[in-house]
Structure 1
Amino acid sequence: MKIVISGFYGLGNTGDEAILESIVDNLKDELDHPDLTVFSLSPKKTAGTYGVKSVYRGWRHDFKGKVKALREADLLISGGGGLLQDTYPTKFLFGPLPYYLLIVFLAKLCGTKVMFFSQGIGPVNSTWGKILMKVFANMANFITVRDQHSKDLLHKLGVNRPESVVTADIVFAFQKKEDTACIDSLPLKGDEKLVAVSVRPWFQHTDHYKQIGRALDQLIEEEGITPVFVPMEGHHDVKASNFVLDQMKHGDRCHLLGPDFLPNQYLNFISNCELTIGLRLHSLIFSALVAVPHIGISYDKKVESLLKRSGMWSYSFPLETLDAAQLVENSKKVLANHAELKAMIETNAQGMRRDALENIDMMKERFLK
């Protein structure tokens, strides 16, 4: 079976690279020698890392390569991740939402079937974005989404022609391989109470840096934790991590991982932590995947949806209401009830893993010749 995979790949985002690795590993396990081509911004790196073919994803280069790949393919997998949204500026043909929908349109022109795969939909607030969704998203043959909010939004936007099914983020089917590169890179003694911290920039919001910094200082003093910042999108998250460190009295008792580790290496590191405090969705998914209790700071419905499914929403916060004192109190509760919460998360994650694998099973049922 020949499959083209379209997503936010080759740009160094740990969550998206984890999505790609999960898709590729599971397709190779479930299909007989699949012929996989990934549209990537770094095609040589993507091909070498995942053992696939790869074509440059942008419109300005190798358009013929994209057309050739789609004409020869049995299926376009669009996803996973939050591709169809207009949080970032969306113009006539520019922005993530028009790009991914035009790839869908191109696939249909080439006679190729399309599956939206484990996607998180929205937000879609612009008039132009809503028009694009109604016109082009209805061209898909089948849709799986990672949460109920995404399915509800599709219907609200008028995307009703293809069947849509709620599954889970495909990263819950990630195949973890033992790797100690992250923890080996840190000057640790081995008896630290490690807390993973994942922060990111989010438009005009900056108060979360101060609130997290204050909370970490207090937790260092009162709980003896060792915070380790996990930058899941390269220099963007390194910069955000340093903003937090600049607010802290005890920044010298924290560590910052390098920005170039692989998703599997970050996942292995998080598995050694007592707690994760995270903004990045996939830092929380990684935590749930290895049953590490986590406190999320939700900047988007997709984060809230994940936290409700993992069972940790009652300990977490919308970004706008984040408060250092409450974060300290919730962190202490989580640490005090660590074993109980770990068991709960493990059970919930097993359910989400089964749901994630449904993405592959349903793809086979509908498209395997």
Structure 2
Amino acid sequence: MSQVFLCGYYGYGNTGDEALLATLLEQLPPHVAPVVLSGNARATADRYGVAACDRRQWQKVLRTLQQSQAFIWGGGSLIQDVTSWRSPLYYLGLMTLAQRFGCRTIAWAQGIGPLRSPLYRWWTRKLLRRCLAVTVRDSGSAALLRQWGIPHQQGADPVWLMSARPGLPPKAKAPIAVCLRPHRHLTSDRWQRLKMALRRWQEEMGVPLLLLPFQLQQDLPLAEELYGALLPDQTQLISCEDPREMKGILAATAGAIAMRLHALIMAASVGCRCFALSYDPKVRYLMADTGMAGVELEALPPDPTALIHQWQHTFCAPVPDYQGYLQSAGVHRAVLNLL
């Protein structure tokens, strides 16, 4: 057995990042033994039945790196400096150490950028050129790597292929899932418009809504406030931290209105109609690549009625055929066989 160090934003209760980890673990070849870098090593080990390493214990991280034969940047937007300059420093530093220790390195299912810092752009190019394989999950990242001259493969996000566990029992009328997160583009005014539109949609059309916070620490207060503004007999709030269970819950819905990228991907992968509220380039890329319905948060219609009309059109339309994206996501599984 060869040891593989899995590096990502794991163990922080973000269902999207946990979904990437769950998918990566499902797709690893049977001859490798994973060790997961985690913000909560005990919870990660208990949930997935694997070895885990606390990302804050640097001596243990370095020892684990030295004992590993391979290192994987495990999916997501790890290399971007828009939300924090510290985050790429951490991940680029680990990849640098892994390569110096002689690990085979893979950048797996990455969303590269935005990178404003010239230093980070130079450093990222240098590391990617030394990787055994590089795969990206969106057209924007692929265009950037073509510009840099980095060999790579592009495929749909691997979470399209993550397994699901049984979710909600069937109901007479399946709900629409709503997955929102705090963000500077979700201003107080836009938040009020969204709440008003969802409440009026329930009153006028009798639409049941299921509120699904994807990162409890961030999203739950927003979901609880929204729950208090909606019709209680037509609204449900569920907290779930296992990504496979979350996908099973979404499979029992009629569709999803979501800001969270992986809420949209999970819902689409189980045949749901989706409406994206885009706050980030990664959501914009998903909309562009798949033709998914949605709106930029910064361009949210001022009249709630306009939003309701868009939702009605989306959720009454035929279910899109996403089979091609399920097949495309196999690109990321294939490169793991190089291990």
TM-score, reference length from structure 2: 0.92
Which residue of the partner structure matches residue 155 of structure 2? 167
Percent identity (aligned): 27
Which residue of the partner structure matches residue 19 of structure 1? 20
Which residue of the partner structure matches residue 141 of structure 1? 132
Matched, 1:208 2:190: yes
| Partner SS, residue 5 of structure 1 | strand
**1:331 and 1:193 mapped to 2: Cα distance?**
15
Higher relative contact order (CA 8 A, sep 6+): 2
Matched, 1:296 2:267: no
CA displacement at 1:2 relative to structure 2 = 2.3
Which residue of the partner structure matches residue 88 of structure 2? 97
Structure 1 residues 47 and 215: CA distance shift in structure 2, 3 A: same
**2:30 and 2:89 mapped to 1: Cα distance?**
33
CA displacement at 1:128 relative to structure 2 = 4.2
CA displacement at 1:85 relative to structure 2 = 0.8
Matched, 1:222 2:204: yes
Aligned residues of 1:2 and 1:73 also touching (Cα < 8 A):
yes
Matched, 1:351 2:303: no
- The amino acid that maps onto 1:301 is P
Alignment of 1:48-197 (within 5 A): 48-58=46-56, 61=57, 63-90=58-85, 95-156=86-147, 158=148, 160=149, 162-178=150-166, 180=167, 183=168, 190-197=171-178
**2:72 and 2:295 mapped to 1: Cα distance?**
33
CA displacement at 1:153 relative to structure 2 = 2.3
**2:79 and 2:230 mapped to 1: Cα distance?**
41
Aligned residues of 2:174 and 2:252 also touching (Cα < 8 A):
no
**2:39 and 2:281 mapped to 1: Cα distance?**
27
**1:138 and 1:326 mapped to 2: Cα distance?**
48
- The amino acid that maps onto 1:52 is V
- The answer for unaligned runs of 5 or more in structure 1 is none
| Partner SS, residue 228 of structure 1 | strand
- The answer for unaligned runs of 5 or more in structure 2 is none
Spell out, residue by residue over 1:249-299, the C-alpha distance to the aligned partner (whole angstroms, 9 max, x if none): 6366422212x4311222111111112110000110011111100100111
Matched, 1:238 2:220: yes
**1:209 and 1:242 mapped to 2: Cα distance?**
13
Which residue of the partner structure matches residue 7 of structure 2? 6
CA displacement at 1:243 relative to structure 2 = 4.1
Aligned residues of 1:231 and 1:237 also touching (Cα < 8 A):
yes
- 1:265 paired residue among 224, 245, 249: 245
Structure 1 residues 137 and 361: CA distance shift in structure 2, 3 A: closer
Which residue of the partner structure matches residue 333 of structure 2? 360
How many residue pairs match? The answer is: 335
Spell out, residue by residue over 1:125-151, the C-alpha distance to the aligned partner (whole angstroms, 9 max, x if none): 234433433444444332100011012
- 1:326 paired residue among 306, 321, 326: 306
How much is the aligned-residue C-alpha RMSD, in angstroms? 2.1
Spell out, residue by residue over 1:5-24, the C-alpha distance to the aligned partner (whole angstroms, 9 max, x if none): 10000111000101100110
Which residue of the partner structure matches residue 274 of structure 1? 254
Aligned residues of 2:138 and 2:289 also touching (Cα < 8 A):
no
Structure 1 residues 177 and 254: CA distance shift in structure 2, 3 A: closer
Structure 1 residues 48 and 250: CA distance shift in structure 2, 3 A: closer
Which residue of the partner structure matches residue 47 of structure 1? 45
**1:200 and 1:52 mapped to 2: Cα distance?**
30
Aligned residues of 1:117 and 1:359 also touching (Cα < 8 A):
yes
Aligned residues of 2:106 and 2:134 also touching (Cα < 8 A):
yes
